[in-house]
Structure formats: C-alpha cells, structure tokens
C-alpha cells in the first residue's frame, strides 16, 4: 500500500508528548522530560534512550509491528485553506518498540472499499527519524487536505474508516475517522511520524 504523508498545523498535545533522545531539539515543541514517551534518533543510529537502553534496531525502519499498535486520527485544526489531522500509532505492547518513516494511509467506506487514492508522502513535520515508543505512548503524523471551500466542492465521498499500514509492515490497522475528514481537490498527504504532535 502506498505510504501517505500528512501534515498538521497547530495540533494540540493530549498527554502523549514524547521526549527526544538527545538534549538538543530544534523543533518548537520540546517534550516534557518528566514523562518520556518516544525517543527520537535523528540519524537512525539507535542511540541510547533516556533509560540508557539502546534502540532495538540500528539504521533500520524499526521493530514496531502491527499487532502491537493501535491507530487513531483526530482533527487538529485548519490553516492556510487546509484541514489538518493528527494520525497516531500507540504502543499497546508490554515493552518499547521502534519505528521510523511513513504510514500507508487510505480511506474506506463502511464496506471496506477504498475511497480515492492512498495518501501521498509529504515533508511536513520534523522529518523521518527513528523513534522509540514506550508502552502506552504514541507517535504522531500530520495528515492534510484542502478545505472544501477552496476546491469548488470537488471532494471525495466522506469515509467511514481509515486503513493504516505502520512503517515496514504489511498488515493494516483500521480506525474511525473524525467527522471533519473529507478529501478535497484530490490532495491527501501524510507526513513522517514524530515523537509528538506539532
């Protein structure tokens, strides 16, 4: 399934902030050090996490598998004639896992048939980094589509669910979609996963 790229502007954090592996971070949203959640490895090298344990994979896409993840999506705002959504993957396993890159993202109707085309990758966000995701914590990707009012009503039909392929996985997750999500102007993008919502 094609990978999708989502971008979100002004997304609100909801208790899933993550802490980068290094002390320095250029992104404007630094995570709280009090509750580490996912660890960023900008060079993908598997550097030590806050607990001193090295990432399970070094220089690869990560070891988080579909069966240990849960997908969700929520509306995160509107800006510059675009609507933004926060796509999250939460680690439901008993231990940490790592992932890096983009999700494969599609929209489906109630019967499971795909609507439109899979999301395209965008560079919105902090860039692709290796993330270590603690149990119960989430990583975030930005999803974006133009608003209906700027596309002359040229929109796909409203979806019932999203279908999500975590990075480097061939099995998909399914989740409900926010009521605000409707792809317009044939533009549907997803960004790389990051430790926290932008």
Confidence of residue 154 (pLDDT cuts 50, 70, 90): confident
Nearest to 82 by CA among 22, 171, 151, 135: 151
Question: How many Å is the maximal CA-CA distance in the chain?
Answer: 53
Q: Report d(CA 80, CA 104) in Å as an integer.
A: 25
User: Do 178 and 189 form a contact (C-beta atoms < 8 A)?
Assistant: no
pLDDT at residue 173 in the model: 96
What's the chain's average pLDDT? 74
Mind listing the pLDDT tens digit for each residue in 49-88? 322 233 333 334 579 999 999 999 999 988 878 999 999 9
What's the CA gap between 21 and 36, in Å, rounded? 9
pLDDT exceeds 90 at position 138: yes
What span, in angstroms and rounded, lies between the C-alpha atoms of 129 and 113? 32
Instruction: Answer whether residue 182 shows pLDDT above 80.
Output: yes
């Amino acid at each position: 399934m094609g990978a999708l790229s989502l971008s979100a502007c002004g997304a609100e954090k909801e208790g899933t902030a993550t802490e980068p592996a290094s002390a320095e971070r250029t992104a404007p949203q630094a995570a709280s050090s009090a509750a580490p959640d996912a660890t960023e490895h900008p060079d993908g090298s598997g550097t030590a996490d806050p607990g001193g344990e090295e990432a399970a994979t070094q220089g690869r896409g990560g070891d988080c598998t579909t069966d240990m993840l849960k997908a969700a999506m929520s509306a995160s705002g509107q800006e510059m004639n675009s609507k933004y959504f926060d796509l999250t993957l939460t680690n439901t396993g008993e231990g940490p896992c790592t992932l890096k890159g983009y999700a494969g993202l599609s929209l489906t109707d109630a019967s499971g048939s795909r609507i439109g085309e899979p999301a395209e990758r965008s560079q919105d966000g902090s860039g692709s980094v290796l993330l270590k995701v603690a149990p119960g914590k989430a990583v975030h990707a930005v999803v974006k589509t133009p608003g209906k009012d700027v596309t002359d009503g040229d929109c796909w039909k409203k979806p019932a669910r999203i279908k999500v392929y975590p990075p480097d996985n061939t099995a998909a997750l399914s989740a409900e979609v926010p009521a605000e999500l409707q792809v317009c102007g044939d533009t549907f993008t997803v960004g790389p996963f990051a430790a926290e919502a932008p």
